[in-house]
Structure 1
Amino acid sequence: MGGRERVSPRRYVRLRAEAWGFALGSLCFVAGALPWFAQGIGAVGTAWTFFVGSVLFTAAGAIQLLLSGRRVPRAGTSAGDVWDWWAAAVQSVGTVLFNVSTFAALRAAIATPEAAGVGWRSDAWGSVAFLVSGAFALAAARRRHELWHLQARTPQAAWLNMIGSVAFGASAIGAYVVPDTGTFVSLFWANLGTLLGALCFLGAAVLVRPGVTAEVAAT
């Protein structure tokens, strides 16, 4: 089976939903970060795109944490599973923080769509949560033999998620508004970091989709 494992039909459906949620959410962030897309649909449409993407991330993260097969660490839980669970838990917190920031940006865009600087920029606290989650995921990937499922954390996907988290972090730094000038540190990196991060998350979602990592059990 080349490292693939059999999973029950119910879990297979959940894993597919998780992969699709992360993939579609990533596509929303990719689209929203493209200048020509933002110009074409306007501030409100772009804000909706980011908000829908964040909701898809949160739904996928909830499936990953609660329904995929992970269990809350307890006595006797392997180190690999502990890192894996915490990676999923912290990532879920990060997605909720992105829900908050994208919703705030959406409300602002609806209220004053023509205002200068209106639009979502990568959330600092959400980006920190993604960075921490990425580090935990890399630790789990190094102990794959201990995980609840061999493919729960693959090195390639873990590294893509980490690189994407670094890119989101760069975006958050670029989006910081300097109090003395009222300007962004770097609007270029605020947008490029979001785009690169979303592309990395998309690649990771494709790599861990169950069609690649698992076979469906007969029963």
Structure 2
Amino acid sequence: MSAAPDPADAGARRYHHGNLAAALVDAGFELARTGGPDAVVLREAARRVGVSAAAAYRHFAGHAALRLAVKERAMQELGAQMAAAASAALPAGAAGDPAAEIGRFAALGRTYLDFALRESGLFGCICAGIGEEHDEGSWTLDSATPAFGVAFDLLGQLVDAGVVPEQFRRSGALVAWAAVHGLAMLTLAGPLADFTDDQREALYDDAVHILLQGLMAR
């Protein structure tokens, strides 16, 4: 019986000159998916891609730099999934309808929570520190968090539909994000970890109801 193929051999076959940085991020992304941020090690990513550690260090100064790239990739993935969920939740021709926009808002948060629970390794990278080498001044809320951008845009739709007052256009998205993120963290490593799927779903529905009641207050 032949031995199982080594991931490094498969990586070597995939690697083409000129895209090593992207290949290393792909490898780091998969490492994070199964092991969280601590599993994103540059040497291991290089091994999986099928190149030397020295070659990898030409593109990333160290583990922190690769982890930052993986974090950005994970945030983009989360933002894309949230945008897709918001789009899918809107019936044809219902844009601007208050009930439809509320349904999209609920779908958005549910996707965030589902991602956190289903992709806990990637979610851990999103929540991890950004690394000492990063310029904090360029790490703005809008540019660094695609998920918030989606939430902000959708909250704006609720404002435009007359569901939420203008004064909550930005702060409402932040409050919604904080609420869903809190539920995710309490479920992953807190007192909600033992909740059943039905209990968690009921709690999420209550959270959306309470949040919207507050946001719709005049």
Larger Rg: 2
After TM superposition, the score normalised by the length of structure 2 is 0.34
Larger RCO (CA within 8 A; separation ≥ 6): 1
Give the TM-score, by structure 1 length. 0.34
